[in-house]
C-alpha cells in the first residue's frame, strides 16, 4: 500500500469548519476534512478515524439519543395499553397494582416479540446505519422480492434467495397472531400455538426474522407458557441463562476493547479526559488501558454474580442484593446506549427480574417440570455450549454471547463504482450514504460513515484485518470499504452484530442477483474466537471466483497491535 505523511493534531479535536452549524440535528464533526480524509491511503485513514473515535465516538447528534428515549417510552406505553385491555388487570391509572402480575408479564413477552420482529427494537435507528427510514424489519419482511437468508437455500418452497408471497403471508400471519394475543383479555393456549409454529417455520425460510425476533429469549419463554409445569420457573431459567452465558462470553481479551469503544461513544460519559483514559497513551497507543481492563473485569464479574445471587435467593436480603446488582449492570449498559441499541431488550430484562425474582422469589427454578425441562436443557445449556466452543455453527444470539466483542464479522470491498450493482436488489432503503445525503452535505455524511471503519478496527478482532486485507486486494485505495453490518442492513433489512448473516451465504445470494465480475467484490470474513481457544480464523472470498485465502490469527499477536496499521 502507498502511504504519505499527513499531520493532523487530534489531541484536542476541533470541529471542521465546513461542517454545518451545530444543532440538535448535527453530528459531531471529525477533526479533519472528511473529503480529504477519504482520499488518504487506508493506514492513515484508519489511524485518523480511530483517534477521532477515541474522543468523539460515532459523533451522533443529541437528537439520536432523544429518538431512542422516545422509542422506549412508546415501547412501555404500548405494553401498558395492551395490559389495560384485560379487565382482570385494571386501568392505566392503577398500573402500580398490576404491573407485576403474571398476565402483565406474559403480555410484556408477547409485545417484546412483536416489537422486535417488526424491526423496532435491536438493530434500529442511526446507531445501526439506518437513517431514512430508521427501521428495516417489516418494510422488508412484507415485501416480495427482498433478499432472505434461508436455512436451506436449495429447499423447494421454503428455500431460495428471495422472498416470495408465502414468506410474506406467513410473516403477516405471525404479526396477526401476536396482535390477537395482545388484544385478548387473557392469554390462552390458542393464542400461543400459532406463535410456536409460525416463528420456527419462518426461521427455516429466513434466519433473519428468527434472530430479529430474539427467539432465544422470547420464543423460549412462550414455550414455557405452553409446556412448563410451572411457567414462571421456566421463565426464571431463561433469564438466568441470559445473564450467565453473557458473563461467560466475556472471559476473553476482547471485552476491554469493547469497554473503551463503548465509553468513547457513551452520551453520559462525554468528558474528553475520561475517554482518553480508556487507552494506554492517547493518541499514539489506543490499546485498552488498565482502567478499561478493570472496568471490563468488573462488568464480567457483575454479569456472573447477578444470576448466582438471584438464582440462589428465595427472597429477603439476598434477592434485594441481586436486584441491586442487576440494576447496576443494566443501568450501565442502557445509559451507554451501545451500538446495536438493545435498549428495549434491557428494559424487558429489568422488568423480568422484578417479576420473576422479586414478586415470585419463592418459585423454584427446578419446578419447571417435564417435558419442558428437556427443551430448556437443549436451548439453555447445550446450544450455548456449542456456540461458545464452535462459534461458527451457532449464532452469537442463540449462544447468548451478548456484547462481548468476540463476534463474527465481515468487510466487503467494492472495486471502483461496482457497488452500484447492489441497486439490482429489491430493498426498502437506499445505501446509508445516500440516506445521509438527504439530510446533510457530503462532507458531513462521509465523516459520519467513516467512523464505521474505526468502530470495527478499535475492537480486538478488527486487528485481524491487518493480516487479511493484503490477501484480499492489492491496492485497498481502489476499493470502497463497506462493513458487513452496513451491507446486511441494506440487503436484508436487519443487522445486529450477527456476522453469520453476512458471510459467504449472503455473498452467494447477492452474487446470484447482481452478477459481480472477478475482482469487483472481495470479502473478508472473520470468525469468533472459541472459548479457551487462542486464534481467530479468517477467509477471503471473491464474489465470482470463490475462496482466495484463509488463515488463523493468534490473539496474543493481535493484542500487541494498534487498531490501525503502522
d(CA 291, CA 503): 35
pLDDT recorded at residue 215: 98
d(CA 131, CA 135): 8
d(CA 390, CA 386): 5
Confidence of residue 145 (pLDDT cuts 50, 70, 90): very high
Render the burial of 526-565: b for 16+ CB within 10 Å, e for the rest: bbbbbbebebbbbbbbbbeeeeeeeeebebeebeebbbbb
Site of grid cell 385494571: 90
Confidence of residue 26 (pLDDT cuts 50, 70, 90): confident
Establish how many alpha carbons lie within 13 A of residue 304's alpha carbon, considering only the half-sphere containing its beta carbon: 11
d(CA 48, CA 406): 24
Residue 14's CB is within 10 A of a number of other CB atoms, namely 10
Cα distances from 196 to residues 189, 214, 255, 460, in angstroms, run 11, 13, 35, 38
Give me the chain's average pLDDT, please: 94
Range in 25-29, 148-152, 346-350 with the lowest mean pLDDT: 25-29
pTM over 0.95? The answer is no
Q: Give the mean model confidence (pLDDT) for residues 417-438.
A: 96
Q: Give 480's strand partners.
A: 414
Site of grid cell 446450544: 383
> Which ranges in 378-459 belong to alpha helices (H)?
383-389, 432-436, 442-458
Establish how many alpha carbons lie within 13 A of residue 91's alpha carbon, considering only the half-sphere containing its beta carbon: 1
Residue 516's CB is within 10 A of a number of other CB atoms, namely 20
d(CA 144, CA 205): 13
What backbone torsions phi and psi does residue 15 show, to the nearest 5 degrees? Answer: -60, 140
Q: Give the mean model confidence (pLDDT) for residues 509-534.
A: 97
Q: Is the pLDDT of residue 392 over 60?
A: yes
Cell of 469: 486485507
pLDDT recorded at residue 518: 98
Q: Is the pLDDT of residue 427 over 60?
A: yes
Q: Is the pLDDT of residue 7 over 70?
A: no
Q: Is the pLDDT of residue 11 over 80?
A: no
Confidence of residue 24 (pLDDT cuts 50, 70, 90): low
pLDDT recorded at residue 12: 38
Q: Which of 414, 415, 409, 412 is nearest to 396 (CA)?
A: 409
Q: Is the pLDDT of residue 13 over 70?
A: no
What is the per-residue pLDDT across 447-466, written as a single tens digit (0 to 9) for each?
Answer: 999 999 999 999 999 999 99
**Are 197 and 226 in contact, with CB atoms under 8 Å apart?**
no
Residue 476's CB is within 10 A of a number of other CB atoms, namely 20
pLDDT recorded at residue 566: 87
Q: Give the mean model confidence (pLDDT) for residues 82-96.
A: 95
In 101-148, DSSP assigns E strands to none
Q: Which of 183, 208, 209, 184 is nearest to 198 (CA)?
A: 209
pLDDT recorded at residue 14: 40
Q: Give 366's strand partners.
A: none
Q: Give the mean model confidence (pLDDT) for residues 405-426.
A: 97
Bridge-based pairing of strands 521-526 and 479-483 is unpaired
Amino acid at each position: 500500500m502507498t502511504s504519505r505523511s499527513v499531520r493532523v493534531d487530534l489531541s484536542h479535536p476541533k470541529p471542521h469548519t465546513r461542517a454545518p452549524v451545530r444543532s440538535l440535528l448535527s453530528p459531531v464533526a471529525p477533526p479533519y476534512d472528511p473529503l480529504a480524509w477519504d482520499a488518504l491511503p487506508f493506514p492513515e485513514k484508519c489511524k485518523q478515524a480511530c483517534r477521532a473515535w477515541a474522543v468523539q465516538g460515532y459523533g451522533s447528534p443529541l437528537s439520536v439519543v432523544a429518538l431512542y428515549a422516545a422509542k422506549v417510552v412508546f415501547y412501555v406505553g404500548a405494553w401498558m395499553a395492551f395490559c389495560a385491555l384485560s379487565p382482570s388487570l385494571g386501568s392505566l391509572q392503577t398500573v402500580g397494582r398490576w404491573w407485576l402480575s403474571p398476565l402483565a408479564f406474559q403480555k410484556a413477552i408477547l409485545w417484546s416479540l412483536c416489537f422486535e420482529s417488526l424491526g423496532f427494537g435491536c438493530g434500529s435507528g442511526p446507531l445501526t446505519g439506518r437513517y431514512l427510514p430508521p427501521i428495516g424489519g417489516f418494510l422488508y419482511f412484507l415485501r416480495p422480492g427482498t433478499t432472505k437468508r434461508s436455512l436451506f437455500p436449495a429447499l423447494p418452497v421454503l428455500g431460495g434467495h428471495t422472498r416470495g408471497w408465502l414468506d410474506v403471508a406467513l410473516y403477516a400471519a405471525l404479526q396477526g397472531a401476536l396482535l390477537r394475543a395482545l388484544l385478548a383479555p387473557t392469554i390462552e393456549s390458542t393464542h400461543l400455538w400459532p406463535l410456536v409454529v409460525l416463528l420456527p417455520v419462518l426461521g427455516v425460510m429466513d434466519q433473519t426474522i428468527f434472530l430479529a425476533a430474539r427467539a432465544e429469549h422470547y420464543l423460549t419463554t412462550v414455550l414455557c407458557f405452553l409446556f412448563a409445569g410451572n411457567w414462571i420457573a421456566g421463565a426464571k431459567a431463561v433469564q438466568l441463562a441470559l445473564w450467565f452465558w453473557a458473563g461467560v462470553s466475556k472471559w476473553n481479551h476482547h471485552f476491554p476493547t469493547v469497554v473503551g469503544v463503548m465509553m468513547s461513544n457513551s452520551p453520559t460519559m462525554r468528558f474528553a479526559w475520561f475517554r482518553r483514559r480508556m487507552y494506554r497513551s492517547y493518541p499514539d497507543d489506543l490499546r485498552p488501558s488498565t482502567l478499561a481492563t478493570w472496568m471490563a473485569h468488573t462488568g464480567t464479574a457483575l454479569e456472573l454474580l447477578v444470576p448466582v445471587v438471584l438464582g440462589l435467593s428465595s427472597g429477603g436480603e439476598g434477592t434485594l442484593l441481586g436486584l441491586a446488582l442487576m440494576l447496576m449492570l443494566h443501568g450501565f449498559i442502557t445509559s451507554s446506549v451501545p451500538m446495536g441499541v438493545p435498549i428495549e431488550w434491557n428494559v424487558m430484562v429489568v422488568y423480568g427480574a422484578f417479576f420473576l425474582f422479586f414478586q415470585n422469589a419463592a418459585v423454584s427454578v427446578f419446578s419447571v417440570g417435564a417435558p419442558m425441562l428437556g427443551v430448556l436443557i437443549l436451548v439453555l445449556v447445550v446450544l450455548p455450549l456449542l456456540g461458545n466452543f464452535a462459534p461458527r455453527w451457532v449464532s452469537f444470539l442463540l449462544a447468548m454471547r451478548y456484547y462481548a466483542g468476540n463476534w463474527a464479522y465481515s468487510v466487503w470491498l467494492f472495486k471502483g463504482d461496482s457497488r452500484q450493482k447492489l441497486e439490482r436488489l429489491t430493498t426498502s432503503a437506499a445505501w446509508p450514504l445516500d440516506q445521509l445525503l438527504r439530510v446533510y452535505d457530503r462532507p458531513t455524511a462521509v465523516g459520519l460513515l467513516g467512523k464505521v471503519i474505526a468502530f470495527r478496527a478499535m475492537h480486538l478482532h478488527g486487528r485481524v484485518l491487518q493480516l487479511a486485507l493484503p490477501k484480499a486486494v492489492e491496492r485497498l485505495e481502489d476499493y470502497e470499504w463497506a462493513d458487513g453490518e452496513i451491507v446486511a442492513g441494506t440487503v436484508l433489512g436487519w443487522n445486529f452484530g450477527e456476522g453469520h448473516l453476512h458471510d459467504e451465504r449472503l455473498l452467494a445470494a447477492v452474487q446470484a442477483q447482481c452478477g459481480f465480475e472477478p475482482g469487483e467484490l472481495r470479502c473478508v470474513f472473520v470468525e469468533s474466537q472459541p472459548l479457551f481457544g487462542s486464534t481467530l480464523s479468517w477467509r477471503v472470498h471473491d464474489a465470482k471466483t470463490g475462496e482466495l485465502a484463509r488463515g488463523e490469527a493468534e490473539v496474543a499477536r493481535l493484542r500487541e497491535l494498534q487498531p490501525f496499521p503502522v
